[in-house]
Structure 1
Amino acid sequence: MNFENTLSFARLQDEADQLHHFRSQFLFPQHNGRDFIYLCGNSLGLQPKVAAEVVQGQLNNWANYAVEGWFDGDEPWMFYHKALKKLMAPIVGAFPSEVCPMNTLTVNLHLLMVSFYQPKGRRFKIIMEGGAFPSDQYAIESQVRFHGFDPKEAIIEVFPKEGEEILHTEDILAKINENANEIALVLFGGINYYTGQWYDMETITKAGHEIGAVVGWDLAHAAGNVPVKLHDWDVDFACWCSYKYQNSGPGGISGIFVHEKHFGNSELNRFAGWWGYQESKRFKMEKGFVPEAGADGWQVSCTQVMPMALYHASLQIFEQAGFIAPLREKSITLTAYLEFIVNEINKELGVAQYQIITPQFSKDRGAQLSIIAQRNGKQIFDGLVANYVLGDWREPDVIRLSAVPLYNSFEDVYLAGQALLKVSKAVLQS
């Protein structure tokens, strides 16, 4: 597509966009009675308007049924998670039996590593991307210490080459093969939170399995953003938060994936709890843990009804939109338009003030662009906020902007570009 840096072009694209009407289903933050241009779905998705209604429905169930709400009403809480499973599965390319909403992301990462990080002999190392989100780093460090290893010896981090910002797949594969006899677990983020790079999950998973390792993924920035096929790619396990691209609210409930090939493996360790016990016999209160079939057997605590209700509200919008395929089609074009606008700003300024460090090709990125500001980055970011454009800032010099296809428009991108140009001129010429 030949892009144009004009309001009329942006509006024409929005008129042709079959998903544009979903924008009206979300609430945009305001200041002085004016909506922000919200480009921060990579950090926290917007609130669906229906969320309050869905949560109120569960509050009504609590009021009307009290403890009997576990078994009475249109959506008994005992089985409420099953409605979500059917809607979660298409988003991550799984069977409903392979996914489950529960806990929060880092809690689930720990629970899954209990099962899938099983160091034996020389094979005790975990390989991950360098510069992973701190929570992943801390979780992995503590897991290897729990098993008696020194993180400096047990964790292999793969960093970009000197002078580069992103990882090359061939370098990841080379590092896996270089340590083939020592790696127990390959554990990457599907999309790197800082650069926005989408790793070649299928190829990396295959490479991990070829050396005899288990492969897991943290999909915090990938689930609901890019099409993943966890079952078909033979991923062993994965987990994600739901409050970024899946709009479940701050601290929203997490999801897990466990490939069905592991369901019959009785040798897997797990930290068990009552809600992971066999559903048909759960209320017999018997000793001796017998896991429920599928991913549900990794549950520990009982259903978190209110967080699930918020997630359910957003998942129903994904279903209306056709899940990931149509959203991804729009996202590719919308992100490319944002990239075009940033490059046009550099031309207008007559200097390469902004460097996009997110990969250029759509196969290597989702909705997020990470942009290095060569000068006065924080001042420019603050200026964007003052001009009603809300992205987010990452030290030391990166502005992250994400045009989310469910609720962002081409006009949003154009107007954000106009604001960035205005602020840049004011700051750089002062």
Structure 2
Amino acid sequence: MITEDHVGEVQQQYQLGEAFAHQLDHQDPLRELRHQFNMPTTAEGNEEYYFCGNSLGLQPKLAQQYLDEVLTNWAQRGVKGHFKGNYPWLPYHEFLTEQMASLVGAQPCEVVMMNSLTVNLHLMMVSFFNPTAERFKIVIEEHAFPSDHYAVISQLAHHGISEAEGVQLLSPKPGEELLDEVDILNLIESEGDKIALILLPGVQYYTGQVLDIKVITQHAHRKGIIVGVDLAHAAGNIELQLHDWNVDFACWCSYKYLNSGPGSVAGCFIHQRHVTNTQLKRFAGWWGHDKTSRFEMVNQFQPIPTAEGWQLSNPPILSLAAIRASLDTFAMAGGIKPLREKSVKLTGYLAFLLANELSGAISIITPKHPIRRGCQLSLKCHTQQLTGKQLFEQLEAKGVTTDWREPDVIRVAPVPLYNSFADVYQFVHILKAIMQGNANPSINHNLLVAK
């Protein structure tokens, strides 16, 4: 299990004051990556302070170039664009596989970009949720993202199992915000013979808590339980080792930390030990059929013996082009490891400033230890002068984009690809001024990008 002393990380020493933010940005080896993104601006023409990459990542500048390439190929070649050009459309999804597999700690044969997140969860449960009279329960967290609940409940109903019978909820202890991983392991031990599937988040969307998927998977497999993971808030955010952790399947969207545009094509991981089993039940479509005979138009489905065998239809190439732009931008950073190192410093700096500047007025429900959280800190407001929602709205009016989640949390996500330490400093400066009743805090927009 993850413990506070499990990782020998050197705790960053932070200081108050604007000059220190400037110093951190000057020392940041990834600072130039910010210029690879289009930054939203306010009505006054200033760059926003954008901390909403956990909801929608910013647009990589490469995206327009790569989309234009597809549009030009279409304009010049029509249907022949499937087979001609530098990036022909027929194998386009394959151009993404190796880099995406690297980001999630997978073998290339285990990863495919297809569909949307919830569609992929349904497809995975078709293959991996096989209830019996004795083993029929699905474990899911009580406060999972609603779409995951809908998917689970409808899958149970498809098998004639009611929600009351089939759903086993994981809840924090009374009065607490976070899941206790010991409780998860105890549930696996006590109820494991009845559990068919555990579906958990890599990072919990509301609290920002990172779960120890490796250990949970080890315990679940000892009891014969399938493990699936929703990586919507984890892919492109934290280091993952899906293959080594032996996870059965995982699904993620690509529009949050993967910066690939609203509603962009999602990703799917199926462990290597499963992908070669072409007898697994699945919903089939022709893009999952053997490539060598796909265009012979036979009616006997022969699945590709990789994750591609779960594809249904040919994917939207314009969306894949935006994902390719994002992955190439990640490559400029040298992959997820250096980004994660910067992320730990960014969130640590934000937590330090909040503790020193707004102690008692703002609390953080996200775990304190860096290994137990990703980019996001989830904040609660504790003042009589204004509610959390009012604080969120006033931040928005000051050019600060965060994310509000009912009932009472402001989610703030400094993303290492494009957020600076100066962004973090200015966020706390503006937040403090609002809470002190200063309607016009002094904002130094020159600190947005370290010189």
Q: TM above 0.5, one fold? A: yes
2:84 equivalent to 1:76: no
Shift of 1:346: 2.0
Q: Give the one of 379, 389, 394 matched to 1:383.
A: 394
TM-score, normalised via structure 1 length: 0.97
Q: What is residue 124 of structure 1 aligned with on the other side?
A: 136
**Equivalent residue of 2:199, what SS?**
strand
Matching residue of 2:423: 412
- TM-score, reference length from structure 2: 0.93
2:358 corresponds, among 318, 322, 346, to 346
Shift of 1:427: 8.1
Once superposed, what is the RMSD of the aligned Cα atoms? 1.1
- Could you say which residue in structure 1 is the equivalent of 2:412? 401
Q: CA offsets per residue over residues 106-139 of structure 1, 9 Å max, x none?
A: 1111011100111122101111111000000100
Aligned to 1:175: 187
**Map 1:79-228 → 2, pairs under 5 A:** 79-228=91-240
**Structure 2 unmatched runs, 5+:** 1-11, 440-451
8 Å contact from structure 2 (residues 278, 303) kept in 1:
no
Alpha carbons of 1:374 and 1:316: their partners in 2 closer, same or farther (altered >3 Å)? same
- SS of the residue corresponding to residue 232 of structure 2 reads coil
Matched, 1:280 2:288: no
Q: 1:251 aligns with which of 226, 247, 263?
A: 263
Which deviations, in whole Å up to 9, do the C-alpha atoms of 1:221-248 show, x marking residues without a partner? 0000000100000011001000000000
The equivalent residue for 1:54 is: 66
Query: Are the equivalent residues in 1 in contact too, given 2:278–2:305 (CA < 8 A)?
Result: no
Which runs of at least 4 in structure 1 moved beyond 3 Å after TM superposition?
none
**Distance in 2 of aligned mates of 1:254 and 1:276:** 16
Q: Is the 8 A contact 2:277 2:305 kept in 1?
A: no
Partner Cα distance (2:261, 2:393) in 1:
24
- Correspondence for 1:367: 375
Q: Distance in 2 between matches of 1:360 and 1:296?
A: 39
Distance 2:94 2:60 in 1: 21
Q: Is the 8 A contact 2:289 2:304 kept in 1?
A: yes
SS at match of 2:138: strand
C-alpha displacement at 1:306, in angstroms? 0.5
Q: Is the 8 A contact 1:144 1:151 kept in 2?
A: yes
Provide the C-alpha distance between the structure 1 equivalents of 2:23 and 2:147, rounded to a whole number of angstroms.
42
Asked whether the 8 Å contact 1:5–1:414 carries over to 2, the reply is: no
Secondary structure, counterpart of 1:341 in structure 2: helix
Deviations 1:45-84 (A, max 9, x none): 0001111111010000111111111111111111111110
Residue from 67, 77, 85 that aligns with 2:79:
67
1:54 counterpart SS class: helix
Gaps of 5+ in 1: none
Q: How is 1:26-37 mapped onto 2 (pairs within 5 angstroms)? A: 26-32=37-43, 33-37=45-49
Q: How is 1:306-325 mapped onto 2 (pairs within 5 angstroms)?
A: 306-325=318-337
* Cα distance in structure 2, aligned partners of 1:266 and 1:228: 26
* Count of residues in correspondence between the two structures: 424
Aligned equivalent of 2:366? 358
